[in-house]
Structure 1
Amino acid sequence: MLKIYNTLTQRKETFEPIKTGVVNMYVCGPTVYNYIHIGNARSIVAFDTIRRYFEYCGYHVNYVSNFTDVDDKMINEAKREHTTVPKLADKYIAAYHQDVSALNVEPATRNPRATHHIKDIINFIQVLVDKDYAYESGGNVYFRARKFPTYGALAHENVNDLEAGASKHVTKAEMQLKEDPIDFVLWKKGTPGEISWESPWGKGRPGWHIECSVMSTKYLGDTFDIHGGGEDLEFPHHENERAQSEAKTGQTFVHYWMHNGFVTVGEDNEKMSKSLGNFITVHDLIKKVDPEILRFFISTTQYRRPIQYSQKNLDDAANNLKKLKTAYNNLHYRLKDADAFNDPKVDQEVRQIQANFQDAMDDDFNVQNGIGQVYELAKLGNVYAERPLVFKQTVQLILKKLTKLASIFGVTFEVESLNDNRIKALIKERNQARKDKNFGRSDEIRASLKSKGIILEDTPQGTRFRREHK
């Protein structure tokens, strides 16, 4: 029985979808004024892994993740690059798709853009104005946060504490426009020369929070199953989404709120972010690091835990990934001499490992324990592949389960097929040299092939070869 930690209630709850067999899921996407960094990728990969597990469990997942393609950062960056906000967005959205594709992230059901939903945003705000949850002031439209009875519940903050915090950050000019320091902007008055749209309150553009409420409810309904994002979005972004959405509809906005931990760097485990200038873009990193390794590194830490980015941790991920691929190829190699039928005892071990895997993942997507079971399956496969006699159906069962479980972490397997006659001729020559006890020539051939990235493995079934995984 799958349990999910709900940020709102601060406890694990049994997952019960609104519609049987369907998961409606919204995950906050990036503001597209730069390439995504590893911190962004953490959220993207974590929720892709969660999505994949839902699909493994047989659910149909409607997965919506937005692009914020207009805000102050977009406007400022467009000025620096001497381009328009729409062109800047197009550039970085294209880069986003390239980067997440390299990380083997499944395409979203929809990737809506805020600027494509201006009419919907205006209509949403108008309902809030009509219901007296929002008011116009100086060309801006603000939400009356205090009027929403449970404001602060998602962040687990008292409204008075929020007011004290907001008062320190609200300028005198803003306070002259706001009724209350904790009120937040739904529509922002336009500045001459900057991108804006006509509205009942004058030319302007949407606030940050309103766009997600509009796009999530447009594509998933007024109430949907899961809303995800980084833990830094709990307040104010998700709190404000919840307030304005429920104020408009009078219904529960989201059943399960999920938030992933940060990526940290350095000895002080500092959060990676663009604002701190300590970020590494995925776009640059995957030129140096195999993106499959980066994906594996991110996906094998439970989503609520922080991840420390370091070369050592990347190397550990590379080694563990290599072990899985080696196990797969060891098993596949044995298909050529496997006997018919199966081994019931080993088959039962495989099914027990799968059951253990599911138990781990059902506990709030505990991927660390889950991947531990995948390693156990790989270990079982290696031991079985070394037996003098193996059975075809059992080998196929292990391969099938290993492929299916590993795919949840974005791992794909390919059979190493090196149809290189020269390599085969050298292996034949080496085998003869060993028979002739010409070990100098045998070692020379092995070393020569290794220098070309070809690894020889002497097994009871003969000498096999594979390409070395970098």
Structure 2
Amino acid sequence: MALQIYNTMTRAKEVFVPQEPDKVKMYVCGPTVYGYMHIGNARPVIVFDMVRNYLEALGNEVRYLTNFTDVDDKMIRKAEEMNITVAEVAEMFISAYQEDLTGLGVKPATMNPRVTESMDMIIEFIKELEEKGYAYENGGDVYYRTGKFADYGKLSRQNLEELHFGIRIEVDSRKENQEDFVLWKAAKPGEVHWHSPWGNGRPGWHIECSAMVREYLGETIDIHGGGQDLQFPHHECECAQTEALTGKPLSNYWMHNGFLNIGEEKMSKSLGNGLLVKDIRARFKAAAIRYFMLSSHYRNPLNFTEEALLSAEKSAERIALAESNVKHRLELAPEGADGEASAAVAERLAAIISSFHARMQDDFNTPDAITAVFDWVSLANQTLAKTDAASADFAALLKTFGEMNAVLRLTPEVEAEAATEEIERLIAERAEARKNKNWGRSDEIRDELNSLGILLEDTPQGMRWRRK
């Protein structure tokens, strides 16, 4: 079996072959942090967490980046509305976002680069585009010259002539062509800004991801992911920016998840129809929300209803109950757990895990993979019904379930696991900050950990942590 991924660029399933054996470079566009995460945002978060988990289950080391856009027009408006600084808006909603990730059982990314911490690399990227003739300045704004990049539109299958009819474009007399997009925005009086060769300003949206990908992952990555709505213009513009400089593909595989709809409309903050994750988490555990999200293929649209979540909750509870009962049975009689499982149980478990992988390797077909999980539930319940079942059978059951659940994360303990992973990520980031004598960031992380109820202790063996 070989993993096949549907590549948006080619509109076909392709065998996944990373550039470097057993190592995957993966980037997923993160949020603009001007509000709380809504349930529509949670779909790509959970989908690409699952993708990353499965790649790791196949033995790959995954370097997984997702960014924070922490300066933006919407953030400036939010700061004015709340009468606080843009930086304070960012810290408030990044903290809330990370809390939601933990509450959804999502593992921390390898790195979360922020736009405000990446300004030098962004400005350098724009300068290189300008030197090559792909960018031009007008009145302190810098635009990308789309007409010079012959492949503009290849990802979304659009061409420049059709864009006039298919996309509403606000006429801007400063542009050579109306399809040109902004790389650098001149600052208005009183706005947050950075110094640049073109005057004070801030970056456009699309350039941020191109610069971060090149800086932290290289010129070509293995997988670039995001929601379907990012395919155009955001990902199209990323391709144009990066490939104009490198002459190489930005990503070898492009993945896009379908919309989460409420009624007939896509969920989004801008439409005002987004249900907040923090409110949904108050009613439903991570296992139920993840089950709901993964019960449909990631490329298909998914309709959100309370009934669907309640159904997902019941299904997740069936899985958790079976696992709990198997664990309990093994705890009652642990002797012989390291022995061989019975032939009947071993044979069925081999078929279950083979089926699970076959379905996951078909473009991450999670709804069918969940069918394999319920085959496991049936086998677990049948084995539990036998008073003479061997401990080795229960140990084998747990091992197989663990392999599947490491990918899907459908049981209650995933929230605690995610919390521990986030704490360890923060401690590692603090250690790096201290190594680089970045005392301000070190103190920020210490305060963040303290707010989470985590105490740090220096020991001869290194830093340790414990809960208050």
Give the TM-score normalised by structure 1. Answer: 0.85
Helix, strand or coil at the partner of 1:244: helix
What pairs up with 1:240-389 in 2 under 5 angstroms?
240-266=237-263, 269-335=264-330, 336-337=332-333, 340=336, 341=339, 342-389=341-388
Check whether the contact 1:403–1:412 (CA below 8 A) recurs between aligned residues. no
Q: Which residue in the other structure is 2:213 paired with?
A: 216
Alignment partners' CA distance in 2, 1:52 and 1:412? 15
- Structure 1, residues 262-293: CA drift from partner, whole Å, max 9, x if none? 11112xx3211111111111122212222332
Partner amino acid, structure 2, of 1:254: S
Q: Could you report, residue by residue, the CA deviation over 1:78-129 in whole angstroms, capped at 9, with x for unpaired residues?
A: 1000011111001100111111011110000000011111111110000000
Distance 1:163 1:129 in 2: 25
Q: Distance in 2 between matches of 1:338 and 1:122?
A: 61
Give the letter aligned to residue 90 of structure 2: A
**Which range is displaced more, 404-413 or 356-365?**
404-413
Residues of 2 paired with 1:110 and 1:348: CA distance?
Answer: 41
The equivalences for 1:26-425 within 5 A come to 26-165=27-166, 168-171=168-171, 174=172, 176-266=173-263, 269-335=264-330, 336-337=332-333, 340=336, 341=339, 342-412=341-411
C-alpha deviations, 1:154-176, integer Å up to 9, x for none? Answer: 0011221014445x4222xx1x2
- In structure 1, what is the Cα distance between the partners aligned to 2:138 and 2:180? 12
- The equivalences for 1:431-450 within 5 A come to none
Report deviation, 1:249: 1.5
Q: CA deviation at 1:339?
A: 7.3
In structure 1, how many angstroms separate the alpha carbons of the residues matched to 2:328 and 2:204?
58
RMSD: 1.4
Deviation at 1:326, TM superposition (A): 1.5
Q: Which runs of 5+ in 2 are unaligned?
A: 414-468
Match of 2:194, SS state, is coil
CA apart distance, 1:252: 1.4
Deviation at 1:147, TM superposition (A): 1.0
For this pair of structures, how many residues does the alignment match?
A: 408
Question: Which one-letter code corresponds to 1:370 in the other structure?
Answer: A
Mapped to 1, the partners of 2:103 and 2:321 lie a distance apart of: 22
Distance 1:59 1:286 in 2: 31
CA contact (8 A) 1:339 1:389 kept: no
User: Shift of the alpha carbon at 1:413?
Assistant: 6.0
Contact 2:125/2:211, CA 8 A, preserved across alignment: yes
Higher relative contact order (CA 8 A, sep 6+): 2
The Cα of 1:350 is off from its aligned counterpart by 0.1
Instruction: Give the whole-Å Cα distance in 1 for the aligned partners of 2:286 and 2:391.
Output: 33
Does the 8 A contact of 2:185 with 2:201 survive in 1?
yes
Letter in structure 2 aligned against 1:137: N
Return 318-327 or 341-350, whichever deviates more: 341-350
Q: Any gaps of 5 or more consecutive residues in structure 1? A: 415-470
Q: In the aligned structure 2, how far is the partner of 1:93 from the partner of 1:53?
A: 26
Q: Is the 8 A contact 1:262 1:272 kept in 2?
A: yes
Q: Deviations over 1:334-392 (max 9, x none)?
A: 32247745311210110111001000000000000001101101111101110131011
- State the one-letter code of the partner of 2:350: R
CA distance in 2, matches of 1:288, 1:317: 13
SS at match of 2:408: coil
Q: Tell me, what secondary structure is at the counterpart of 1:12? A: strand
Given that 2:287 and 2:412 are in contact with CA atoms closer than 8 Å, whether structure 1 keeps it comes out as no
Corresponding residue number in structure 2 for 1:452: none
- Cα distance in structure 1, aligned partners of 2:116 and 2:274: 27
- Residue 177 of structure 1 aligns to a residue whose secondary structure is coil
In 1, the alpha carbon distance for the partners of 2:96 and 2:391 equals 44
CA contact (8 A) 2:316 2:411 kept: no
Deviation at 1:299, TM superposition (A): 2.8
Shift in Å, 1:149: 1.1
SS at match of 1:169: coil
Instruction: Quote the Cα distance in structure 2 between the aligned partners of 1:334 and 1:89.
Output: 48
- 2:34 & 2:19 partners in 1: Cα distance? 35
Q: Which residue of 1 aligns with 2:445?
A: none
Distance 2:208 2:333 in 1: 59
